Chain A
Amino acid sequence: MADRVIFISTLILAAVYFYATAQIPMLEIGDPLGPKAFPRLLGIGLLITAGLLLLEMLRAKKVAAHDAAPKTPLAWRHYLVVGAAAIWTGVYFMVFEWLGYAIATTFYLLAMTMYFHKGHPKTNVLTSALFSFISYFMFTQLLGVTLARGLLPF
């Protein structure tokens, strides 16, 4: 199933890439090849890859028909957990500049550790706040790295 999706996505991507390459305006200066030649080669490479993917799929089908393994039901709950973690990371980035690195990171770490390191609320609160503020001061004050200040006055 996954391989079929990869195969079709590769074909769609090749089509989109060819279309986007055709949209690059041509100015006949500089080198004779222009900015489109190399991308066209890549598009062709992608089509060849799609062909190889198909070949592998057909071969896998033969092998699978040969020794059909019993199918196990696919667990899916972990995808929800990973999806939620990704969304929470997205929320963290959205408020990053507004709240600033130190505050946003404290909240981010707190929620994450509360879920993934259950049963240790004190450790989680302390680690989240200490890591965020110490790393903020270490990088901005000692190493001169710029991080978002946000609501903090310093």
Chain B
Amino acid sequence: METLTHILNGFTVCLQPINLWYTFVGVFLGTIIGILPGIGPSAGIALLIPVTFGMDPTSALIMMAGIYYGTKYGGSTTAILIRTPGEAASVMTSIDGYEMAKKGRAGAALAVSAIGSFIAGTIGVVALTLFAIPLSSMALKFGPAEYFTLMLFAMTAVASLSGKSPAKGLLSTILGLMIATIGIDLQSGQPRYTAGIPEFQDGIGFIVVVVGLFAVAEVFRGMENLYYGTAPQMIRISGKLWLTREEWKRSVGPIWRGGIIGFVIGVLPGAGGTIASILSYTTEKRLSKHPETFGQGAIEGVAGPEAANNSDTAGALVPLLTLGVPGGGATAVMLGAFIMYGIQPGPMLFQNRPDLVWGLIDSMYIGNIMLLILNLPLIGLFVRLLYIPSGILYPIIVAISVIGTYAISGSMLDLYLILSFGVVGYIFDKVDIPVAPLVLSLVLGGIMEQSFRQAMTISGGDPVVFVSSGITVTLVVLSVISISMPFILPRLKALKSSSDDAD
């Protein structure tokens, strides 16, 4: 009953005119960021943090969440019209969405992705509302050892699922943790790895790293494509922005299934929107009576993945809000933002600041309605953004990154750092080292070390504390499985195929 009161109170918070305005600004910017290639939700949220200084934290976080789920709506537009995912999770939409557009059904593809996103986004928020309380009450039992092993699991899962090579994912994770150790050690007051540079005593800010790795590096990649003249051609919207009765009938199932798949994948650490949409696509293809139409403009191949990558965002907020542990790059940036406002997400937040948590969650119901309006009747306005020549857009993204970074600290060193991380991100992309694990472990590094040291202090220096409860044992086992599976599975497959051959 108390929970219901909190949920309803959340609506009074998010329906305040100022919060409605910031929900709108968030989803509006999210749609733009999603449509524009070269900047995704992680960099978008990080760049906006300086502008939100001095704002009420609830409003600021409502806006940032709006950017996060708004990008998923915008990303599909670019995928459908120019076959380039505006946002990584729209990659599956670019296959059948673009084929539909080529056949003159761009309007229907955009409509089904907006409607599918809305339905699945709402399914996701309903599930988030239902799961938040039981999970956060369970998390109240967590001590430092449980938190340490939980973060370990989140990181190993992200490491092994983010890229092509789990070893490179792990490398990226450890690099992030190492960067997090730079600066004054909070418990002993000792400076670590500062190389005598005073600015490093406060550590390297995650915003600098995120902007470098996600925005500047993406600009370099874009410039490379411009040099080769591989910038794709855009298809103009044709046909009505609505579905025929038959198209609608074909889309309903995929939207519901995609919504559920997306939420479940979102809750689990590591996988994220891209994997959710791939999973939905393959599911729909398998269930279809005409799997051969996939890749030729099958509407199910747009409806399912778009639904999945939207409910994934609501799912991803479950571990962030209830446990305080994000499971991917964008939610890690959101955790960084929470911490900058002096708010620690996790079970205590539901008890201490129900207005903030439920205001944020409830704002997502309203944000999804706003997004449906922005992305259906008003989509024609946003599409104009795609006419901005990339040769102008990319340099401007660097300038925006400069504003976002310099505004926080006024430090020149930070500017050199975004350039350095930009170059590093570009090189990492060339050699297939994923960057999302680095960002996640950088944001979690400080808390992880603290939990480690607290747990060891409580146990009197005995590491058995990390395998002393059912929860820690489960999490340690899951961590080991997630790292070793990619190495063991191919061997098992090889063994199986050789024994099959012998038969």
| A residues with CB within 8 A of B | 2-3, 5-6, 10, 17, 20, 24-27, 29-35, 37-39, 41-42, 45-46, 48-49, 52-53, 55-56, 59, 77-78, 81-82, 85-86, 89-90, 93, 96-97, 101, 105, 108-109, 112-113, 115-118, 120, 123-124, 127, 131-132, 135, 139, 143, 145-148
Contact = CB atoms under 8 A, between A and B. Distances in A.
Nearest to B426: A82
A2 B432 CA distance: 10
A85 B422 CA distance: 11
Interface stretch (B70-78, B276-284, B406-414): B406-414
A30 B399 contact: no
A26 B185 CA distance: 11
B39 to A, nearest CB: 15
A26 B189 CA distance: 10
Contacts of B167: 49, 52-53, 55-56
Contact of B407 (A53, A89, A145): A145
A52 B224 contact: no
Given A5-B431, A31-B187, A147-B406, 13 more contacts: A2-B431, A6-B171, A31-B453, A37-B453, A42-B181, A49-B170, A52-B487, A53-B171, A93-B419, A101-B403, A108-B395, A112-B394, A116-B391
Given A31-B453, A146-B410, A124 B392 contact: yes
Interface of B: 50-51, 165-168, 170-171, 174, 177-178, 181, 185, 187-190, 192-193, 216, 220, 223-224, 226-228, 389-392, 394-396, 398-400, 402-403, 406-407, 410, 412, 415-416, 419, 422-423, 426, 430-431, 433, 449, 452-453, 456-457, 460-461, 487, 490
Given A42-B178, A93-B416, A116-B395, A20 B193 contact: yes
A145 B400 CA distance: 13
Contact of B399 (A41, A105, A124): A105
Contacts of A52: 166-167, 170, 487
Q: Which 4 A-B pairs have the closest CB atoms?
A: A117-B391, A116-B391, A112-B395, A52-B167
Contact of A81 (B216, B223, B419): B223
A104 to B, nearest CB: 9
A62 B156 CA distance: 26
Contacts of B170: 45, 48-49, 52
B392 A117 contact: yes
A113 B398 CA distance: 12
Contacts of B189: 27, 30
Give the secondary structure class of A's interface.
helix
A5 to B, nearest CB: 8
A86 B418 CA distance: 11
25 contacts: A6-B431, A6-B433, A27-B189, A31-B453, A32-B460, A32-B461, A33-B453, A35-B185, A35-B187, A37-B452, A46-B171, A46-B178, A49-B170, A52-B167, A52-B487, A85-B220, A85-B223, A96-B412, A96-B415, A101-B406, A108-B398, A112-B395, A132-B399, A145-B50, A145-B407
A97 B412 contact: yes
B391 A78 contact: no
A42 to B, nearest CB: 5
A38 B188 contact: no
Contacts of B398: 89, 108, 112
Max count, chain A CB within 10 A of own CB: residue among B398, B399, B415, B419: B399
Nearest to B452: A38
Nearest to B484: A52
B453 A38 contact: yes
B171 A113 contact: no
B171 A90 contact: no
A86 B395 contact: no
Contacts of A35: 185, 187-188, 190, 192
Contacts of B177: 42, 45
Max count, chain B CB within 10 A of own CB: residue among A20, A39, A46, A49: A49
Nearest to A86: B423
B450 to A, nearest CB: 9
A81 B227 contact: yes
Nearest to B404: A145
B453 A93 contact: no
B449 to A, nearest CB: 4
Contacts of A53: 167-168, 171
Contacts of A42: 174, 177-178, 181
Contact of A32 (B178, B422, B456): B456
Contact of A113 (B185, B227, B392): B392
A82 B422 CA distance: 11
